[in-house]
Amino acid sequence: MSRRVAAAMAGLMLLAQPAGAAPRGPSTTPEGNPVDPSMPTATAPAARGAAPPAPSSPPKETTVEGLTITARPVAPPIDTVSAFVSDVSAEGPNGRLARWDRKVCPGVIGVKQPYAQRLIDRIALVAVTVGLQVGEPGCKANMVIVATDDSQAMAKMVVDRNPTAFGRWETGVSRGRAALKDFVETPRAVRWWHITRTILADGEAYDRGSLVTVRSLGRIRATSRDTFDHVVIMVDVTRVGVIRFEALADYVTMVGLAQIDPDADPAGVSSILNLFAARDRGGVQPTGLTGWDVAYLQSLYSVNPNVIRGSRQERDIVRAMSDRLGVAPADREPAGEE
């Protein structure tokens, strides 16, 4: 992160403090979970929660004359997986899907300490599951989660006062001005904004405009990849409605670890991203990350990010998801239940 962006992020953290810019009064999260704007920022995960759910249903067993045959679940149609990936993925400025490179440090503002820690622990657990490192207690937050009773007013204020931290005047680090306008002005229960940076294929960071050594060239493999520099997530407690805290935590986890299109509507697929749409329709709300969500995150972080075109990256994710959704639980990486 450049010094200019780092300074702007520091300013954002100060502005987001409840005593200044944040919620106007104590609120209560769904089902009585307290949200208190007067509480300090919580950072540093303990990561002792349960792992995400397994990506598919348990296999069926058939016994014939003492022989037990375990049937593998049938993978969903490739077109369905492809449509899901296309719908939920928001490509960055270079047409690729960004992701965290190595370490993530979530920090929470405006939520009482026990609930803030539960949220941090959940993010940390899923982050570790996909292969990321999590910052130690007291680390400098690069995923800032703010609970407020007026996220639209807060978004406008922090963007106006910290335009550099949101990439307003800089190209190539975000989804652009139109998307930033949508982030500020569109009423949502949860809104998020990702700032990315480009690093070399071997993981070496560099400043824009500086000279770098390119060790290999090719038409398929790119010499660089896009990674998250920092993410800001705002939870509007007045718009959340009656939502289980665990489900809300998983929703925040999903949009914090992947650059999700805020207009995504994967209605035909079981996904935590349907949380608020299901609530508004009066349907059954997901209770946490589903098999599709876990498969998407694991695939995003397992495929090669050094690609020239995002379409290649998405095809790789589709194939990896199909494999994960179609294999028996015993063949997958271990995952527990909430």
Predicted confidence band of residue 173 (pLDDT cuts 50, 70, 90):
confident
pLDDT at residue 23 above 70?
Answer: no
- 167: CB partners within 8 A, 6+ apart: 173, 174, 180, 195
Tell me, what's the pLDDT at 29? 46
CA distance 131 to 330: 20
What's the pLDDT tens digit per position in 78-91? 899 999 999 999 98
**Is the Cα dihedral 134, 135, 137, 142 positive or negative?**
negative
- Please give the mean pLDDT across all residues of the chain: 78
Tell me, what's the pLDDT at 198? 72
Predicted confidence band of residue 172 (pLDDT cuts 50, 70, 90):
confident
To the nearest 10 degrees (0 to 180), the angle between helices 291-300 and 245-257 is: 20
Among 37-46, 118-127, 230-239, name the one with the lowest average pLDDT.
37-46
Tell me, what's the pLDDT at 65? 57
Predicted confidence band of residue 304 (pLDDT cuts 50, 70, 90):
confident
Model-level pTM? 0.76
pLDDT at residue 72 above 90?
Answer: no
DSSP-based three-state secondary structure for 55: coil
Predicted confidence band of residue 55 (pLDDT cuts 50, 70, 90):
low
Considering 32-36, 77-81, 184-188, 219-223, the range whose residues carry the highest mean pLDDT is: 184-188
Is 144 in contact with 123 (CB distance < 8 Å)? no
Residue type, 205: A
- Dig out the tokens for 321 from the structure: 């998801």
Predicted confidence band of residue 167 (pLDDT cuts 50, 70, 90):
confident
Tell me, what's the pLDDT at 22? 37
pLDDT at residue 331 above 50?
Answer: no
Report domain extents, the chain.
3-54+75-331
CA distance 73 to 43: 40
Among 81-85, 138-142, 217-221, name the one with the lowest average pLDDT.
217-221
pLDDT at residue 4 above 90?
Answer: no
CA distance 172 to 197: 8
pLDDT at residue 252 above 90?
Answer: yes
- Dig out the tokens for 9 from the structure: 């992020």
